[in-house]
């Protein structure tokens, strides 16, 4: 089964459309949360997501904030502003979709979360120490997660009980070694200085992970953000991928 693994769309419709086109035909879509927040198209992104085959979608911290299930006290002023704007435009139906999102989903050999197995919407998985600690919080061979907006892969080596961090290269598929924790990067707001939208194709039969990057119409998203007065900093960062 060919699965499209995406995360952190962040209401960026132009990026999401480019990813769907580049991914081609897939049997299922696994979305690791943060469908909304930052970008100008929260409703359009939820609606396009709902059209995808065999969709599984997790709750992210921005989604939780937008539906009022998480305090925005940890957000900075600009991020709070975007939460308020998103709340003002979201339809009741799309809000309801976000409210029904789970914190954790287990798909056979893969556990899906937004942040980490230990703290599903809060923790950033950025170093081998937290990856090692999180191994005891899920039982499957693999864990796919988002939140940091960085395409990373942590693999556990039982021989010497250590975790190695790797940076998968787009277009060079890897065969996944159990146990691994993997991030497909962000569709709508990449932060690894590569502004192209990031996603992965996971093949459940061969257990391969194919990270891909695709260019999208960044100017279109930025223009729409300006029209609705979203913060300049969030507009500018899309061009630099930070």
**What minimum distance in Å lies between the beta carbon of 149 and Zn ion?**
6
* Residue 176 vs 218, nearer CB to Zn ion: 218
* Residue 34 vs 192, nearer CB to Zn ion: 34
Cα 201 from Cα 195, distance rounded (Å): 19
**What minimum distance in Å lies between the beta carbon of 186 and Zn ion?**
6
Q: Which stretch binds Zn ion (CB under 5 A): 6-14, 17-25, 67-75, 129-137?
A: 6-14
* Residue 62 vs 179, nearer CB to Zn ion: 62
Backbone Cα Rg of the chain: 17
Q: Is 197 helix (H, G, I), strand (E, B) or coil?
A: strand
Cα 226 from Cα 218, distance rounded (Å): 12
Please count the residues of this chain forming the interface with Zn ion, following the rule CB under 5 A.
Answer: 2
22, two tokens: 């580049």
Going edge to edge, which strands form the sheet with 162-166? Answer: 105-107, 110-112, 142-144, 180-182, 153-157, 162-166
User: Looking only at residues 8 through 37 of this chain, which bind Zn ion when binding is defined by CB under 5 A?
Assistant: 8, 34
- By C-alpha distance, which of 93, 99, 114, 111 is closest to 47? 93
**What minimum distance in Å lies between the beta carbon of 147 and Zn ion?**
6
Report the half-sphere exposure of 201 (CA within 13 A, side-chain side).
22
**What minimum distance in Å lies between the beta carbon of 15 and Zn ion?**
13
* Residue 8 vs 123, nearer CB to Zn ion: 8
Q: Which stretch binds Zn ion (CB under 5 A): 5-13, 45-53, 105-113, 170-178?
A: 5-13
- By C-alpha distance, which of 58, 59, 66 is closest to 83? 66
**What minimum distance in Å lies between the beta carbon of 109 and Zn ion?**
25
Q: Which stretch binds Zn ion (CB under 5 A): 1-9, 15-23, 83-91, 205-213?
A: 1-9
**What minimum distance in Å lies between the beta carbon of 208 and Zn ion?**
25
* Residue 122 vs 156, nearer CB to Zn ion: 122
**What minimum distance in Å lies between the beta carbon of 159 and Zn ion?**
35
Cα 171 from Cα 14, distance rounded (Å): 21
User: Looking only at residues 27 through 86 of this chain, which bind Zn ion when binding is defined by CB under 5 A?
Assistant: 34
Q: Which stretch binds Zn ion (CB under 5 A): 3-11, 15-23, 115-123, 215-223?
A: 3-11
Cα 46 from Cα 50, distance rounded (Å): 6
Token pair 């086109």 is at which residue?
21
Q: What does the binding site for Zn ion look like in residue numbers (CB under 5 A)? A: 8, 34
């Amino acid at each position: 089964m060919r699965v499209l693994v995406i995360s952190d769309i962040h209401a960026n419709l132009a990026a999401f459309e480019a990813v769907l086109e580049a991914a081609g035909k897939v049997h299922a879509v696994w979305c690791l949360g943060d469908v909304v927040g930052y970008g100008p198209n929260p409703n359009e992104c939820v609606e396009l997501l709902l059209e995808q085959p065999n969709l599984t979608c997790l709750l992210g911290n921005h989604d939780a904030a937008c539906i009022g299930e998480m305090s925005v006290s940890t957000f900075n002023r600009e991020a709070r502003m975007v939460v308020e704007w998103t709340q003002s435009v979201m339809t009741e139906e799309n809000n309801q979709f976000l409210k029904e999102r789970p914190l954790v989903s287990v798909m056979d050999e893969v556990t899906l979360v937004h942040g980490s197995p230990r703290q599903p919407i809060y923790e950033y998985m950025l170093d081998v120490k937290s990856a090692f600690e999180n191994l005891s919080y899920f039982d499957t061979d693999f864990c796919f997660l988002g939140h940091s907006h960085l395409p990373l892969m942590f693999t556990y080596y039982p021989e010497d009980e250590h975790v190695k961090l790797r940076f998968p290269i787009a277009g060079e598929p890897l065969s996944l070694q159990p146990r691994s924790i993997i991030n497909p990067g962000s569709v709508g707001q990449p932060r690894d200085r590569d502004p192209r939208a990031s996603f992965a194709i996971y093949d459940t039969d061969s257990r391969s992970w194919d990270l891909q990057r695709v260019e999208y119409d960044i100017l279109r998203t930025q223009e729409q953000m300006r029209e609705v007065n979203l913060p300049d900093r969030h507009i500018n960062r899309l061009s630099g991928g930070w």
